[in-house]
């Protein structure tokens, strides 16, 4: 805004005129221009998700950085994904037979009211939908979060202007006040108001005389009936209620449990981390929740432990929520309020009808129009209908965590993603939907759980057996030019001859690029492309370990789509199907064949490629199913002479692939089988393969197959924090990737193996924490023994430790040779980079950064417990 500081009425009026002029220019833009600006803005916001989250928590003292990262990510990625193809300029639909056209026109300048609870994600969301609709927006931040709100707006504005938007299309009040906010929402040049905040602010917006879209108070009740999946219900409520320390307006405020399962549900809540207050504790907490008839702002966005301290009671530090068992539904009961913190009420209901009546009263008391939740057997459509018809809420969620479910797209991909949730006339709002394009009527949306389809994608052709290379490559008859990507060792040793001989026989020309080094860099890709673009191959053959195969995948991509922005495709995504920047299908110019010569990476069957940036040395795991090779040839003849150190490192890499894929939140029946088979083969044959090498061809063959099976599993289930940490640990200290995984895996298993994690990973198919049981299943498959999951877990960890000893791998980062001072100097950077690694999202426990720090410190010292 050219250092135009807005802190008084004169400067604000000047700003409004500038934004109005910019919007009038922007209103003439075409759909293509708008879409380009929209994408650029979404990318910029997504890239800034972590620093903005940190800034918001530091400035407000509320919430959790890691959860605000998710909100910022959602506000950019999911909103972009939802609206990227929407037509918002000019004629957007036409029914020629009936003579109907729909023409879209912007409303003008929007006043954006931003709350202190969601200062950056709300600013991102409102900026993006404003840009998509050719409007302008001026933000009025909350005084407690003005810096972070303005910073979010600045980031989006800078990207939009760089992409071609008028320079004043987004503005803000630098020093907010009630006077300036009132001036903004009543100014004649402001067309409408997007209001998110407290009841008083939203009421002021609706009283301004301007069209307004806003939200009402949330007081979400969650019923758990006797047919519900209790483990899932308890886990989801805790996950939802602790998200950003309970500041989401849609988060559960009360649990209503039918008496037949009351004790079972309460016990499950306690198991998962809830603290049930006794009579005296409940009185003390109630006095802390409400002071002089109003919610105590000191508890908003604080942890359960801190709220307990404020109340003068003692609870364990790892308690997730404070729960008070109450019966009164009135403003005399503090627990019946919207608490914006990890504090919840528990009501006992006589039957389903009584539960619905209690939920209805709670909503009418202080949350009309917002959100309600029912946990029941999904086949109980009569109950779902009764609940939906009775309650006056815009979102009626079935078997869904309300914080994550109400904002849309996560737990029902047909529910529109939004961070402004209309509450209809029940809540004094103009609309009852998640804010979208048309909001002239109240709509009641019953969002039953409908998960997006899952997938299992591998190369169309996978050939295996000794000598398979010869016959498999002969399928390339008819191709003209092959570009072979390998490393210098395979070239100098003459092993490459087994490839070129077949190509000569079938009259396919070839060029060989043999300068791929371990951990290939972007400069290597550029060097190869100089040859590829001249040679114009119609087949690319990757021959070697993970490095040549990964490098070949990126060469393939850049050959077919030379304008690809590497930084964009390297950006982490929450859902591979919803990413902002995807990769178009490859294969128009060339097919790709992958022939591994090591037994570990599985890259020959995966959509992943790990590439290192030259300047920063950061490793980027690129993931897109377009990168999956067209043909994989698994020929054990190429691994017989693999040296011991490579055998050990690659073998343990394959093991971590299989283990992490098996416990991933994306694991399915289709990925579990190859993962288990790979683990069985590795435990049986890796020590033999390491010890006897070429003299035990059976062991070498079985390990080669195990690597590919593990690759097939993690290609579709993805990995976890072991790989997240290993990627960054390897970069920082030049540790081979397989060994880096070996140094971390035991600590990660110990961290994951809990029935009450601090935070459960968010993925719809992952209903409740079950990773300890899955580790037990691995132990069973390996015949390790054990009477229960706890014993099986110990036996599994011991078995992995023994395997590492058998193949002479170090048992700690210190033992590997990393100096303590160097390790701790890099620790903060390692933690943040590992948290933002692509693999982190599929880990069954969603880690806080402090958890990753603890894992690294334990791994450094070789401490498993």
What is the set of active-site residues? 249
3-state secondary structure of 755: coil
DSSP string, 109-139: EEEEE--SSSHHHHHHHHHHHHHHTT-EEEE
3-state secondary structure of 550: helix
Q: Can you name the residues that pair with 509 across neighbouring β-strands?
A: 481
Q: Can you name the residues that pair with 323 across neighbouring β-strands?
A: 276, 344
CA–CA dist 813, 829 (Å, integer): 17
Based on the number of CB atoms within 10 Å of its own CB, is 150 exposed (0-12), middle (13-18) or buried (19 or more)?
A: buried
Tokens of 527: 């060097």
Sheet of 461-464: strand order equals 461-464, 631-634, 591-596, 539-544, 481-485, 509-513
* Residue 495 φ/ψ, nearest 5 degrees: -65, -30
C-alpha pair distances (Å), 714 with each of 329, 678, 774: 49, 11, 16
500 contacts 471 by C-beta, under 8 angstroms: no
- Tokens 């969002």: give the residue: 447
- Tokens 């110019």: give the residue: 589
CA–CA dist 855, 333 (Å, integer): 43
CA–CA dist 192, 106 (Å, integer): 11
C-alpha pair distances (Å), 475 with each of 471, 497, 503: 7, 18, 10
CB atoms within 10 A of CB 229: 17
CA–CA dist 425, 440 (Å, integer): 11
Measured CA angle at 594 (ends 589, 597), to 5 deg: 155
C-alpha pair distances (Å), 703 with each of 114, 332, 633, 693, 862: 56, 67, 15, 11, 27
* Residue 678 φ/ψ, nearest 5 degrees: -60, -45
Tokens of 488: 């210098």
C-alpha pair distances (Å), 849 with each of 65, 66, 531, 758, 833: 9, 8, 43, 12, 10
Dihedral (CA of 671, 672, 676, 679) sign: positive
CA–CA dist 479, 133 (Å, integer): 48
C-alpha pair distances (Å), 8 with each of 173, 438, 503: 9, 34, 76
CB atoms within 10 A of CB 89: 22
C-alpha pair distances (Å), 369 with each of 65, 115, 249: 29, 19, 12
Residues 6+ apart with CB under 8 A from 622: 553, 554, 569, 570, 608, 609, 610, 611
Q: Which long-range contacts (CB under 8 A, 24 or more apart) does 10-18 make?
A: 12/173, 12/180, 12/183, 12/184, 13/183, 13/187, 15/138, 15/168, 15/171, 15/173, 16/109, 16/138, 16/171, 16/184, 16/187, 16/189, 16/190, 17/189, 18/168, 18/171
Tokens of 364: 């009418």
CA–CA dist 750, 373 (Å, integer): 34
337 contacts 285 by C-beta, under 8 angstroms: no
């Amino acid at each position: 805004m050219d250092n135009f500081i807005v802190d008084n009425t004169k400067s604000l009026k000047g700003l409004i005129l500038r934004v109005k002029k910019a919007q009038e220019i922007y209103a003439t833009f075409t759909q293509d221009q708008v879409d380009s600006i929209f994408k650029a803005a979404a990318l910029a916001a997504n890239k800034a998700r972590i620093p903005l989250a940190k800034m918001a928590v530091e400035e407000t003292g509320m919430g959790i950085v890691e959860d605000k990262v998710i909100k910022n990510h959602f506000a950019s990625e999911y909103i972009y994904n939802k609206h990227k193809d929407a037509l918002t300029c000019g004629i957007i639909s036409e029914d020629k037979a009936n003579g109907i056209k729909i023409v879209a026109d912007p409303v003008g300048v929007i006043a954006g009211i931003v709350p202190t609870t969601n200062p950056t994600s709300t600013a991102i969301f409102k900026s993006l939908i404003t840009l998509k609709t050719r409007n302008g927006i001026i933000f009025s931040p909350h005084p407690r979060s003005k810096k972070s709100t303005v910073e979010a707006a600045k980031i989006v504005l800078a990207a939009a202007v760089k992409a071609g938007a008028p320079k004043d299309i987004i503005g803000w009040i630098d020093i907010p006040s009630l006077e300036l906010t009132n001036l903004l929402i009543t100014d004649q040049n402001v067309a409408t108001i997007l209001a998110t905040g407290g009841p008083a602010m939203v009421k002021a917006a609706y009283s301004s005389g301007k069209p307004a879209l806003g939200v009402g108070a949330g007081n979400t009740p969650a019923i758990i009936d006797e047919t519900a999946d209790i483990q899932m219900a308890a886990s989801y409520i805790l996950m939802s209620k602790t998200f950003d320390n309970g500041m989401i307006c849609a988060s559960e405020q009360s649990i209503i449990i039918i008496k037949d399962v009351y004790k079972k549900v309460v016990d499950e809540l306690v198991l998962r981390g809830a603290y049930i207050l006794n009579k005296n504790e409940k009185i003390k907490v109630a006095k802390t929740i409400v002071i002089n008839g109003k919610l105590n702002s000191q508890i908003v966005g604080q942890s359960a432990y801190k709220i307990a301290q404020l109340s003068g009671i003692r609870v364990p530090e790892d308690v997730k929520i404070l729960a008070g068992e109450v019966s009164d539904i009135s403003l005399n009961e503090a627990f019946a309020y919207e608490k914006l913190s990890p504090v919840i009420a528990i009501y006992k209901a006589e039957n389903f009808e009584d539960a619905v009546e209690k939920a209805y009263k709670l909503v009418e008391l202080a949350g009309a129009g917002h959100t309600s939740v029912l946990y029941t057997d999904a086949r109980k459509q009569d109950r779902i209908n009764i609940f939906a018809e009775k309650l006056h809420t815009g979102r009626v969620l079935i078997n869904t965590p309300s914080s994550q479910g109400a904002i849309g797209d996560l737990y029902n991909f047909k529910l529109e993603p939004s961070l402004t949730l209309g509450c209809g006339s029940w809540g004094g709002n103009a609309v009852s939907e998640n804010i979208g394009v048309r909001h002239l009527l109240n709509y009641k949306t019953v969002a039953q759980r409908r998960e997006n389809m899952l997938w299992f994608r591998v190369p169309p052709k996978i050939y295996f057996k000794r000598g398979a290379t010869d016959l498999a490559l002969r399928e390339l008859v008819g191709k003209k030019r092959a570009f072979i990507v390998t490393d210098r060792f395979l070239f100098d040793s003459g092993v490459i001859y087994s490839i070129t001989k077949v190509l000569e026989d079938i009259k396919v020309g070839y060029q060989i690029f043999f300068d791929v080094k371990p951990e290939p860099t972007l400069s290597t890709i550029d060097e190869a492309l100089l040859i590829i673009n001249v040679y114009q191959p119609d087949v690319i053959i990757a021959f070697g370990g993970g490095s040549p195969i990964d490098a070949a995948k990126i060469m393939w991509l850049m050959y077919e789509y030379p304008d690809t922005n590497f930084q964009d495709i390297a950006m982490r995504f929450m859902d591979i199907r919803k990413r902002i920047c995807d990769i178009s299908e490859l294969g128009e110019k060339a097919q790709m064949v992958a022939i591994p010569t090591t037994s570990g990476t599985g890259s020959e069957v995966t959509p992943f490629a790990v590439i290192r940036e030259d300047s920063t040395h950061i490793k980027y795991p690129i993931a897109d199913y377009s990168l999956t090779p067209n043909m994989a040839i698994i020929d054990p003849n190429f691994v017989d002479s693999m040296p011991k150190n490579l055998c050990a490192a690659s073998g343990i890499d394959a093991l971590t692939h299989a283990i992490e894929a098996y416990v991933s939140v994306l694991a399915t029946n289709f990925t579990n089988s190859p993962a288990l088979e790979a683990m069985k083969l590795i435990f049986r044959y890796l020590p033999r393969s390491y010890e006897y090498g070429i003299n035990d061809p059976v062991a070498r063959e079985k390990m080669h197959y195990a690597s590919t099976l593990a690759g097939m599993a993690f290609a579709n289930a993805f990995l976890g924090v072991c790989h997240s940490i290993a990627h960054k640990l390897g970069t920082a200290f030049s540790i081979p990737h397989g060994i880096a995984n070996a140094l971390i895996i035991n600590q990660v298993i110990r961290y994951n193996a809990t029935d009450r994690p601090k935070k459960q990973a968010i993925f719809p198919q992952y209903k409740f924490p079950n990773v300890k049981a899955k580790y037990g299943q691995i132990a069973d498959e390996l015949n390790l023994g054990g009477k229960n999951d706890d014993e099986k877990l110990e036996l599994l960890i011991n078995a992995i430790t023994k395997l590492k000893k058998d193949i002479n791998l170090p048992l700690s980062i210190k033992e590997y040779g990393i100096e303590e001072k160097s390790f701790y100097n890099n620790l903060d950077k390692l933690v943040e980079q590992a948290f933002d690694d692509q693999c982190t999202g599929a880990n069954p426990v969603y880690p806080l950064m402090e958890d990753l720090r603890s894992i690294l410190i334990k791994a450094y010292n070789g401490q498993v417990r």
